Amino acid sequence: MSVSRRTLLGGLGGLVLAVQMPPRRARATGTIVEDVTTPFSPNAFIRIDERGVVTFIMRNVEMGQGIYTGATLLMAEELDLDPETVQLEAAPPDVAYVDKDMGTQATGGSTSTMGEWVLLRKAAATARVLLVQAAATRWGVDPAACRTEAGVIHHDASGRAVGYGEVAAEAGRLPVPPDVSLRPPSAFRLIGRSHHRLDSPAKVHATAQFGIDARVDGMKFATVAACPVMGGTLVHVNEGAARAVSGVVDILRLPNAVCVVGSTTWAAQMGLKAAAPEWNAGENAHVDTALVYRQLHDGAAQPERGIVAQEKGDAHAAVAGAHRQYAATYQQPLLAHATMEPVNCTVHVTPDRCDIWVGTQVPLRARDSAARITGLAADQVHLHNMYIGGGFGRRLEHEYVEQAVQFARQVPYPLKIVWSREEDITLDRFRPAYVDQIAAGLSSHGNIVGVTHRIVGPAVVARWAPEGLMPNGMDGDLLAAAADVPYDFRASYLDFVRRETPGVVTAWWRGVGGTRGLFVMESFIDELAAVAGRDPIEFRRHHLKNDARAIGVLDLASDKANWSQPMPKGSGRGVAVQFLFGSYLATIMDVKVDDDGSVRVLRAVVAVDCGRLVNPDQVRSQIEGGLMFGIGAALFNEITLDHGRVQQRNFNRYRVLRMNEAPVIEVHLVESDADPGGIGETGTAAAAPALANALAAATGRRYRRLPLLGKQELDV
């Protein structure tokens, strides 16, 4: 990795002031104030002004995953700073912040910590080397004789000390060393110790600014309705009735949507109701859930090979010739994101400038779209990225920014658009539905001799980042927990039959590939263990023979959960083991099925080996939250379509796990010096298979269709 001079210390201040580290609290309120008090524009990751104020620029957006804190710890470690004294800013849209794994400036795919582990420490270590060099040169001493502590460079032999700010200008003129060494883990002061979240006080006192909290002088409040059937158009709006509603200011139109503007959001909502928009539903008016599933099951049945994603040995022959064959088909539904903060965007378009206040995981894409729509140059578009009230992949889309800009360019004032929850769910871009067909052969000892597997569903990457599609047309995300498994199957075959979902746009959703794949793989392994008459953990351990870290988490979870202790009648215990996003997890869940059929999730025990821990308590927090998110989805959630319309409109019909349904979660962390893996999506992936296996143990029947509390017949 190279850190250029410009990106690292570009244009540092020339003023030399007394050594002084203002003991500031990290200011993590989420707004980006374009900083006019320092004469230098922010770039890359670190800025130090002449007063010694250190600003870290966060290229990953904070949506709950704790990356602001994690990234700050990584940089503060190498720069010898107290994390609480650093100011944090969200990165503006800029190619300097492009995530190589994601191909654009994007936060997602659990890549945040993985990507930053080396990058940010090097950026900070380079800054430190330059600052020390500048001080040493000034003093005429050997840099090696200097040390840094809490933002101050010390030369102990002479008792001299100077703050970073004071030498920042000189440091900015020094050549950047091509490479710097990083602190050895044995010297870490911050990394590996739990540190409170830096964004916590602002969020607890409600001063944190989410996109929906944007307030701009002169702005008006709006809400929208787009055609509830994808591809349909707006036919009629009862404009007179809408304008008669007190507080309604404007009614704006797009070919497929209407926007009512008011003096309050309520006025806009009442105006929209009165406007009673009528639609021409268009070509998707016939789409319903049965069609979606039928296309998937048809794909599963096609005799021709799909896109072959993995072929190891002759798996078909191995299965056919095995002592015993076993096959299963699994079906998973469309899912909404239903982030707690509904979709919203505030835009002000003037002849020579466009300002956007929004929480987005893809700021560069949003900015470029706004430039295209308004005809402005990219540098005339100013995107102010705010805290995100839950991403889960929803804010990797930016169609709502495009919609907001298209409306806002019709009016002179700043326009704040807040979608209703109904709009947020029905006009979401959905986690795809999938059908998986999987078969295995077992030897006479009950060991797996081969696995053949077919995935049927859309390729999300083909729309989101077409260049990311593999040369053979495979969506690499689907390999997770399908081709990329910790198990050693002697022979395996995986193919992908691509079937795009009619009537909706499909999108990323917390752990897409891994969440999708793990339900299938870990349910199937569990079924095979049962067929072979073996203990689910022993069976897994046997087939994990080459993977010490996987066995490590499995044994730890089994020990902590008292796996061997029998459960009372009506209760069940299920396990799932995984290697996803660079992290290992073993999850054991206990459930109770009451006589009336209601299901209670009692406890989840999770063992985690995610490599080196940056902020251990935040790993716990992400696992806890990811599991709760996954449990709710696995138990309750399915988006269905009728005449092209989504039938779930609010939390009353798109049920979310609540406090009284939330299990106790125990997280056990394994010490490891491997590179950090991602964790934000791992708990979500674990939930469905661990639950399905626990339910099977409790009831004696298999669960092959999500949601688990829905009907269990497949929609073949």
Partner 1 sequence: MYDIQINGDVHSVDVPGDTPLLWVLRDVLGMTGTKFGCGIAQCGVCTVHLDGQPVRSCSLPVAAIGTHPVTTIEGIGSDALGQAVQKAWIDLDVVQCGYCQPGQIMSAVALLKTNPHPEDSDIDMAMSGNICRCGTYQRIRAAIRSAAGA
The contact set with partner 1 (CB under 8 A) reads 63-66, 196-197, 199-210, 212-213, 215, 221, 246-247, 263-267, 269-270, 338-342, 387-392, 418, 420-421, 617-618, 621-622, 624-629, 632, 650-652, 656-660, 662, 664-665
Least Å distance between CB 268 and partner 1? 9
Q: Which helix (H) or strand (E) holds 463?
A: helix 460-464
Contacted entry of partner 1, ligand FES, none for residue 341, CB cut-off 5 to 8 Å set by kind: partner 1
Instruction: Give the whole-angstrom CA distance, residue 166 versus residue 189.
Output: 25
Query: Which is closer to ligand FES, CB of 340 or CB of 664?
Result: 340
Query: Which is closer to partner 1, CB of 335 or CB of 521?
Result: 335
Q: Rule CB under 6 A: is residue 390 a binding residue for ligand FES?
A: yes
Contacted entry of ligand FES, partner 1, none for residue 418, CB cut-off 5 to 8 Å set by kind: partner 1
For 96, which DSSP code? G
Least Å distance between CB 387 and ligand FES? 10
Report the residue from 13, 42, 52, 64 that binds ligand FES according to the rule CB under 6 A.
64
Least Å distance between CB 626 and ligand FES? 12
Q: Rule CB under 6 A: is residue 340 a binding residue for ligand FES?
A: yes
Query: Which is closer to partner 1, CB of 267 or CB of 440?
Result: 267
Query: Which is closer to partner 1, CB of 296 or CB of 627?
Result: 627
Query: Which is closer to ligand FES, CB of 4 or CB of 650?
Result: 650
Q: Taking Cα atoms as reference points, which of 546, 297, 325 lies closest to residue 435?
A: 297
Contacted entry of ligand FES, partner 1, none for residue 55, CB cut-off 5 to 8 Å set by kind: none
Least Å distance between CB 590 and partner 1? 15
Q: What region, left, alpha or beta, does residue 393 occupy, with left being phi > 0 and alpha being psi -120 to 50 degrees? A: left
Query: Which is closer to partner 1, CB of 79 or CB of 606?
Result: 606
Contacted entry of partner 1, ligand FES, none for residue 624, CB cut-off 5 to 8 Å set by kind: partner 1
Strand bridging mode 257-262 / 220-226? antiparallel
How many C-beta neighbours within 10 Å does residue 313 have?
A: 14
Phi (first) and psi of residue 463, to 5 degrees? -90, -45
Query: What radius of gyration, in Å, describes the C-alpha atoms of the chain?
Result: 27
Length of the chain: 716
Query: Which is closer to ligand FES, CB of 69 or CB of 133?
Result: 69
Alpha helices by DSSP H, listed for 174-323, are 200-204, 239-243, 265-275, 289-301, 315-320
Q: 3-class DSSP state for residue 636?
A: helix
Q: Which helix (H) or strand (E) holds 9?
A: helix 5-9
How many C-beta neighbours within 10 Å does residue 161 have?
A: 15
Q: Rule CB under 6 A: is residue 172 a binding residue for ligand FES?
A: no
Q: List all residues 6 or more positions away from 41 whose beta carbon is below 8 Å from its beta carbon.
A: 11
Query: Which is closer to ligand FES, CB of 64 or CB of 163?
Result: 64
Q: Rule CB under 6 A: is residue 211 a binding residue for ligand FES?
A: no
> In the complex, which residue's CB is closest to ligand FES?
340
Least Å distance between CB 700 and partner 1? 29
Least Å distance between CB 63 and ligand FES? 8
Least Å distance between CB 400 and partner 1? 16
Q: Rule CB under 6 A: is residue 204 a binding residue for ligand FES?
A: no
Least Å distance between CB 536 and ligand FES? 33
Query: Which is closer to ligand FES, CB of 340 or CB of 716?
Result: 340
Instruction: Give the whole-angstrom CA distance, residue 68 versus residue 116.
Output: 11
Cα distances (angstroms) measured from residue 368 to each of 372, 374, 391, 462, 595: 6, 10, 21, 20, 57
Q: Which helix (H) or strand (E) holds 415?
A: strand 415-418
Strand bridging mode 415-418 / 344-350? antiparallel
CA 220 to chain centre: 31
Cβ atoms of 448 and 521 closer than 8 Å: no
Query: Which is closer to ligand FES, CB of 63 or CB of 257?
Result: 63
Instruction: Give the whole-angstrom CA distance, residue 692 versus residue 589.
Output: 9
Residues of this chain that bind ligand FES (CB under 6 A): 64, 340, 390
